Chain A
Amino acid sequence: MALSKADFNNINVTPAASKKLKWNASANGFETGDVGGNMVLIKTLTADNSANLSFVNGTSDVVFDSTYEKYVFKFIDTSIRSNTEKLGFNVSIDTGSNYNVAKTSSAFRAHHGEDDSPAALAYYGDDDLAQGTGLQPIQNGGNSDADSCISGELTIFNPSSTTFVKHFIMTTNQNNSSGNSQVLHIAGYANTTSAVDAIIFQSNTGNIDGTIKMYGIT
């Protein structure tokens, strides 16, 4: 956004969505930016019967590098199209050319039926990985009913590190095909010391719907 004195009593301002004016270092001038904004919306992607949603550093205004030390992806009413599908994600170290980084993760879930049927908490081996290079499941037991969806949050720590593995933490909830409320807790790490610079969300078999928002935490 350009900000300049155009005329007496005027400033030439082109507003930029989600940006604010703030005082600059000289304390008597302005600059544009995020104010107090330690959680910054980077990109919103919406799927409508889409094969996948991907966030690639340097593409379509996506920042996924050392700009932020923590990135958060929020799933808002994301859904799959058949009960046999499983929503998942994978990461890339070559800006999306390949999504095949080895990951080790753990998974456990709690569920409780709409009919008050069995409530349980247990480890869930179907959704963990042991150096697996395929999709990391986000939820399981998908439900393609019209009112069914998955919502939750994935956090990735310091993806640009070239020293450490890349930890991720995820919690999602869904109303699954068995008529349960099911919360799934997954945590793990992409076992690479290369920088992770892209992430893809997709189903193991079909298309997806819904919104995923990407935030950077300064």
Chain B
Amino acid sequence: MAISKFNYNSFNVTPVASKALAFNSDADGFTTASGSSMILIKTLTASSSANLSFVNGSSDVVLDDTYPVYKFLCINCHPSQQGGDGDEFSVGFRDGSTAYDASKTSTFFSSVHGEDGSGGAVAYRDSHDQANATGFQTLAVDMDADNDTQVSGELTLFNPSSTTFVKHFIWRGNHVHSSAGIQDTYVAGYCNVTAAIDAVQFKMSAGNIDAGVIKLYGIADS
């Protein structure tokens, strides 16, 4: 970005996206600089929502080769129901069609501990991993639906625009499980497709996401 004195009381400034003016080492001059490498792209807020979807090119969402890494930050996502298959928070990836059915292979393990001190354990949970399956990937299971409970966590998606490689993803989140305790969940896997992933959707296995916020960030220079 060029900055020059254009006229008295004026700057001739051509703004450049994602660039800023910063003070230089002289403390009385300027230089151009990048902002943070973690760029907020979009915030979606659930209100009895069937799902929250981030679609490249729609509603200001960027999910392409602009960034090599994307992060979805899920905050206080509260389910509308407990039990009856409605208590699983999940994610799906779109790979070219309108469906969120990219084939995935994943691992799933979690650590649990009850409020009464019982059941402390860490274990692999093979009922929630996937082996080239097209269904949504579970991120939280056996969620409690009391008014003060929710799931919070972070999903990282690597290089979704690649048309060469599979697309890796990593999730860590925790929630209050239906037996009144903490469940700390780790999920990692890959969309086993070479087509670009251009949209990501979060939803409950049944019912709605009653409340909560999901933020999409792009990680620049990563």
Contact = CB atoms under 8 A, between A and B. Distances in A.
Interface of A: 5, 8-9, 13, 15, 20-23, 30, 34-40, 69-70, 104-108, 121-123, 125, 128-131, 155, 157-158, 161, 163-165, 167, 169, 185-189, 191, 193, 217-218
Contact of A106 (B112, B150, B152, B172): B112
A13 B73 CA distance: 37
A104 B115 contact: yes
Given A8-B8, A13-B23, A164-B78, 18 more contacts: A5-B9, A20-B23, A35-B36, A36-B20, A38-B39, A69-B213, A106-B113, A106-B181, A130-B114, A130-B116, A130-B117, A130-B118, A158-B75, A164-B76, A165-B176, A169-B174, A169-B184, A187-B184
15 contacts: A20-B21, A20-B22, A35-B36, A36-B34, A38-B38, A39-B36, A69-B215, A105-B113, A123-B111, A130-B117, A165-B150, A165-B176, A185-B184, A187-B174, A218-B40
Interface string B8-28: 110000010010111100011
A104 B174 CA distance: 12
Contacts of A107: 111, 113, 120
A108 B20 contact: no
B122 A123 contact: yes
Interface residues of B, number: 55
B14 to A, nearest CB: 11
Nearest to A30: B21
Main secondary structure of the interface of B (DSSP, over half): strand
A161 B18 CA distance: 31
B126 interface: no
Contacts of A131: 115-116
Interface in B185-219: 186, 213, 215, 217
A218 B30 CA distance: 26
A20 B20 contact: yes
A115 B152 CA distance: 38
A-B pairs with lowest CB-CB distance, top 4? A36-B35, A187-B184, A130-B117, A35-B35
B46 interface: no
A106 B20 contact: no
Contacts of A167: 150-152, 174-175
Given A38-B38, A104-B114, A20 B76 contact: no
Contacts of B215: 69
Given A13-B28, A38-B36, A169-B184, A123 B22 contact: no
